[in-house]
């Protein structure tokens, strides 16, 4: 009798937990939406930043089964466009002989998300700055790797934020 009571109690607790109303805010499960993602304009001398952001955005939007990115505007529900405004590498700290030991990558971007059918602006960020620090080494190849890793972190963070903002907006459409 005690075993049956324990099993029933456990079942009741599991039932209550599973129906608590929790929903992951990073997952959109509403009606299917397609987003035409335009490759961002790159106003910097840093090559391939635009395609890195495009790939990262696509990766993030693929996390939802109800959102797809498309290469053509025709038939898309939304359009996402952006621009890489600038990139800076100001030194942060200095070691002996006034040699930089740490650098901060600073990336400025702007972007806009619009509903195509109504031309309504859903999200507009006119100036956003992202920063990431990295250590400086005496070896230039290590510095290049560290800078690339810092940029990859920034790009992933930007893409994640755009994805999360989009997922938060979609249920209101």
DSSP string for residues in 120-158: -EEEEEEEEEEEEEEE--SSHHHHHHHHHHHHHHHHHHH
Q: What confidence score (pLDDT) does residue 82 get?
A: 98
Q: What confidence score (pLDDT) does residue 101 get?
A: 72
Residue 52, domain extent: 2-172
Phi, psi of 76 (to 5 degrees): -80, 150
Which of 77, 88, 89 has its CA nearest to residue 117? 77
Q: What confidence score (pLDDT) does residue 92 get?
A: 62
Count of CB atoms within 10 A of residue 161's CB?
15
Q: What confidence score (pLDDT) does residue 119 get?
A: 96
Domain count of the fold of the chain: 1
Q: What confidence score (pLDDT) does residue 151 get?
A: 93
**Distance from chain centroid for Cα 36:** 16
* Rg, Å, the chain Cα set: 22
Mean pLDDT by runs of 10 across the 173 residues of the chain is: 66 56 67 95 94 96 91 96 93 63 89 97 98 75 74 96 95 82
User: What CATH number has the domain bearing residue 158?
Assistant: 3.30.160.150
């Amino acid at each position: 009798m005690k075993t049956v009571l324990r099993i029933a109690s456990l079942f009741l607790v599991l039932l209550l937990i599973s129906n608590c109303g929790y929903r992951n805010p990073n997952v959109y499960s509403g009606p299917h939406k397609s987003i035409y993602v335009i490759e961002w304009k790159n106003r910097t001398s840093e090559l391939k930043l635009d395609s890195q952001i495009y790939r990262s955005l696509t990766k993030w939007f693929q996390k939802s089964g109800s959102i797809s990115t498309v290469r053509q505007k025709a038939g898309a529900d939304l359009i996402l466009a952006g621009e890489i405004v600038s990139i800076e590498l100001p030194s942060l700290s200095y070691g002996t002989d006034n040699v930089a030991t740490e650098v901060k990558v600073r990336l400025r971007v702007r972007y806009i998300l619009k509903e195509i059918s109504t031309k309504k602006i859903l999200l507009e960020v006119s100036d956003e700055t992202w920063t990431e620090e990295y250590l400086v080494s005496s070896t230039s190849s290590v510095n290049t790797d560290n800078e690339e890793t810092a940029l990859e972190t920034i790009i992933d963070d930007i893409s994640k934020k755009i994805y999360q903002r989009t997922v938060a907006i979609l249920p209101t459409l």
